[in-house]
Structure 1
Amino acid sequence: MDNREAMGSWLSGPREAMEQAGADFGYRGEQLGLPEHGPGSIARPGRRIGALVVDWALCMLIAYGLVTHGYNQATGNWALLIFFALSVLTVGTIGCTPGKRLFGLRVVSEAGGRIGFGRVLARSVLLCVAVPALIWDRDGRGLHDRVAKSVEVRS
């Protein structure tokens, strides 16, 4: 292995190195019975992050304009509370937040269909803590989705 291959394997990550060694991981969502591409496939990180940014900006705007009437230290706390309420209410009823809707995403149960209120509540709490959302499995699902037995898919 020359230096370029060693550098390339380091940059591409352990999954790519294992696949080059002959391991077959399949595509994201294969273990869940989801299609590889198109509607119903696992949402890609770029879309998920974009939806999160839109939702957070909306919550900051609401907190800024309606609650704190200007920016101060409490604005971020209010925005987090509004984000939690938005997540529980919208994912629990229609399966997506405004940001997810804009980016063509929805949250469904592993078995298909809507997730129950208790799981939506647990997912939203863990999402607000942020750390579980940063720990992903091989399918690209965050720990908050694993706990809630949910999947964020393309609609």
Structure 2
Amino acid sequence: MEFAGLAAGNDLGPLPPVGRTPSARALPGSPAGGVRRCAATAVDLAVAVAVVLLPLVGLDRALGGTALPDGDARTVWRAAAALWTAAFLLLYSPLCVSLRGATPGKRLMGLEVVVSGDGGRLGYGRALARHLANLVVNAVPVLCVANASAIALGPDSLGLHDKAVGSAVVHRRTAAA
């Protein structure tokens, strides 16, 4: 065969598709793509801001009307803010994922978090480990870029936090319960 035939690709035949095909994206149980995952995260961040900040603003208003000295009121507010934020971080995502399979943002986007091997629900410990790994991954810029790349370019769309605990984010298989 001459070089012109090789250069034209005539001997290669059809090339296999790269990545996910558009028709397979919304199939129940198929890997969730980055766009839906980002949209779910945006919803969850809005919930987080409301749940964390609104009670703290109320506490600030309540402490302003007390007879506590300014320094003591600030100490009370800071302690309450630290405890409330830590409680939210340790409970919101892990409880939602372990009890219902998804956070409100993921449910709204039609996604769920499952055990990658058998598709079962994650227990609280595994959901907490996944969430803490996600916080670490997103706090370190190099890991954040690697995570986004793994989700966007990997055939299974597993983030680093998913790989660490053996979970996967998939399109929801059943109607919201």
Matches within 5 A, 1:2-151: 27-28=19-20, 37-69=26-58, 82-111=88-117, 112-129=119-136, 130=138, 131=140, 134=145, 135=147, 136-137=149-150, 138=154, 139-151=156-168
Unpaired segments ≥5 residues, structure 1: 1-21, 29-34
Q: Alpha carbon RMSD of aligned pairs, Å?
A: 3.0
Q: From the CA coordinates, give the structure whose radius of gyration is larger.
A: 2
Q: Decide whether the 8 Å contact of 2:25 with 2:33 is kept in 1.
A: no
Q: Tell me the matched-pair count.
A: 126
Relative to structure 1, the CA distance from residue 87 to residue 120 in structure 2 (aligned partners, 3 Å threshold; closer, same or farther) is same
What percent identity do the matched residue pairs reach?
Answer: 35
Change (3 A) 1:77 1:128: farther
Task: Label 1:146 to 1:133 Cα distance change in 2 as closer, same or farther (>3 A).
Answer: farther
**Does 1 or 2 have the higher relative contact order (CA < 8 Å, sep 6+)?**
2
Q: CA deviation at 1:66?
A: 1.1
Superposition deviation, residue 67 in structure 1: 2.5
- The TM-score with structure 1 as length reference comes to 0.67
Deviant stretches of 4+, over 6 Å:
74-77
Gaps of 5+ in 2: 1-13, 61-77, 173-177
Judge conservation of contact 2:115–2:121 (CA < 8 Å) in 1.
yes
| Contact 1:55/1:83 (8 A) holds in 2 | no
Residues 1:42 and 1:133: Cα distance change in structure 2 (over 3 Å): farther
Tell me by how many angstroms 1:117 deviates: 2.6
Q: Distance in 2 between matches of 1:114 and 1:62?
A: 25
**1:78 shift after superposition:** 5.4
Paired residue type of 1:44: G
Do the aligned residues in 2 keep the contact of 1:27 with 1:36 (CA within 8 Å)?
no
* Deviation sequence 1:2-29 (CA, Å, 0-9, x none): xxxxxxxxxxxxxxxxxxxx9857545x
